[in-house]
Structure 1
């Protein structure tokens, strides 16, 4: 069973707990990922903007931690900076670990840092976390503003370099700023359906359609507060969001963005990465084997093939 998950915060979580990536007390580790067939995992570096006094230093520490963990576990994982790397890892039945950035405060120091991050392996960036920075406004800001001129310049340069644009956490206005600028597929790596759960972090139908029109993917998030308004959720709630996106725009534009280790309480039935196996039987019954494979990983893989082609 192949999976491609669009977002986890395991790097930050395991670093904070002074643990490793191979086997830990987090929601995701390399041992559990190895239950799947050559999985691809986006590993986010997420810095809380109000706690990061030196964003560049913190990012470098996280990148260093990630590569050290890969060196210690070469039999299980390799870093992927291109689609060719993913193909190579698949032949060796290894996890492909892809570095992403959630919140781009570090770019406030200058656009040239983007090229440095690219060279260090960052292949997807969300410009904001929940709040505003020099690039734009986050989804939880009261002011309904979008990208700054600098943020728009960053998006254009991301397109040029081959860095995937991620609109999760971005404000509604910022989303449409991105949609006007991008020339390639873009994603919401870990966002859900606003028509099911009316939360600022979730996406309207028009936003979901715009992502699909770009050729991108919506990664469904397992955080209960984004699944329903009661705050308690089950795996069935998670599947409702998948079904909604499929019915709205088709089966090619939805995937997994479970947000493991970025959430403080869990959806019943999706407590950790191993639980993804439970999704397969439902998805195969509902959409057939081919459809299930698309949702579990092939849709995100298609986007990676288009963007990470250098």
Structure 2
């Protein structure tokens, strides 16, 4: 009996060590940064950046990794202290609940082994989360709420227009106040139950992408097997999202889903992190026709920062992608959509955002246009459409 208890004790110690080391190691491998800060830009670009009132990013997966967002880390791409260093006012934190083994841009099976399950166990999460995508989603929602609460009056969980107005007003006198919004990457997190939409809305979710890297109950992914449009469940979910005030994020959706959503939604859509095919021809990127339809809907397009969306070298291609959307439909539809902490290699973490402003300046964007791209478009979009 003593030997058995000793054995259990050793296993428990190994488990505790794993909780403290394995997730950190995995993240360090999955979220590398090509250039570590501090990042230098020209005095003129830095002066312009310092004049920006509202900087915002539409996509970040930092909640997945179990990091303490209240603490500045030297791994990953985003946390609250680094948001403040970069003068970022608002970040959209997105929940990833499932990721297929062998994930790729071309084709993934919904039956592939789920990479998030072992990560969930390694992080020491409740067994209730091990095999429930919905429970993982609620857990990450609660984590963001707790991080915001830990900041006391220095952070605001933005769930409504009133919350956003409070953030804007607070930052007039204190730039240390930051805002966090919550989204879901992939409607599979709802586990095929419409009632779960109400539950995630109550938890603070204000954006959901119908699909991620594989087909699900909503319909087809841009990287799945069937290329299908919205299922009956998907159509019902879109209508309920409209009723609740949850934005539809068309990043990763099949072209058929994009068409279906735009034909039935009564609200503007978001593409939170994407590239454009005119710069990089990829199934995850938008065609000119799709960009024009999203603009006609009153939507907004976040340009991603990683090579599979924009190609290499990343920075000039990020700028080229933004310029293409501006020239095609207008600068008012362009936003930052980094995909930070999304298992991607990025050229710089959030503290490198002045490099974007400098790149836009060098490409001939006016200061007003740079303000729009860096966050004013997002502010305007949410002030108009958040409830």
Whether TM-score is above 0.5 comes out as yes
Contact persistence 2:142–2:203 (CA under 8 A): no
Residues 196, 43 of structure 1: CA spacing in aligned structure 2 closer, same or farther, 3 A cutoff?
Answer: same
Equivalences for 1:65-104 in 2 at 5 Å? 65-93=143-171, 94-104=177-187
Alignment of 1:262 onto 2:342: yes
Which range is displaced more, 22-31 or 206-215?
22-31
Residue 7 of structure 1 pairs with residue 59 of structure 2: yes
Structure 2: unaligned runs, 5 residues or longer: 1-51, 100-113, 118-130, 172-176
**1:297 matched residue in structure 2:** 375
- Asked if 1 retains the 8 angstrom alpha-carbon contact of 2:334 and 2:373, the reply is yes
CA contact (8 A) 1:255 1:297 kept: yes
Superposed counterparts of 1:210-289, under 5 Å: 210-228=293-311, 232-267=312-347, 271-284=348-361, 286-289=364-367
Contact persistence 2:316–2:359 (CA under 8 A): no
Aligned to 1:33, which of 64, 76, 83? 83
* Contact in 1 for aligned 2:59/2:94 (Cα 8 Å): yes
- Write out per-residue CA displacement over residues 248-267 of structure 1, whole angstroms, 9 at most, x where no aligned residue: 11111111000110033123
RMSD: 1.6
1:245-297: CA deviations, max 9, x gaps? 11111111111000110033123xxx100111122234345221211111111
- Retained in 2: the 8 A contact 1:12–1:45? yes
The answer to whether structure 1 residue 47 and structure 2 residue 127 are counterparts is no
1:90 shift after superposition:
2.3
Relative contact order, higher structure (CA 8 A, sep 6+)? 2
- Aligned pairs (5 A) from 1:145-164: 145-164=228-247
Q: In structure 2, how many angstroms separate the alpha carbons of the residues matched to 1:239 and 1:223?
A: 12
Match of 2:366, SS state, is helix
Larger radius of gyration: 2
Distance (whole Å) between structure 2 residues aligned to residue 124 and residue 256 of structure 1: 16
Asked whether the 8 Å contact 2:56–2:91 carries over to 1, the reply is yes
- Per mean C-alpha deviation after superposition, the further-off stretch among 85-94 and 167-176 is 85-94
Q: What is the TM-score when the length of structure 1 is the normalising length?
A: 0.92
User: What corresponds to 2:266 in structure 1?
Assistant: 183
Shift of 1:108: 2.9
The superposition leaves residues 117-160 of structure 1 with CA deviations (integer Å, 9 ceiling, x where unpaired) of 11111000001111111111111123221110110111111111
Name structure 1 gaps, 5 residues minimum: none
- How many residue pairs get aligned? The number is 300
Structure 1 counterpart SS, 2:219: coil
- Residue 226 of structure 1 deviates from its aligned partner by 1.2
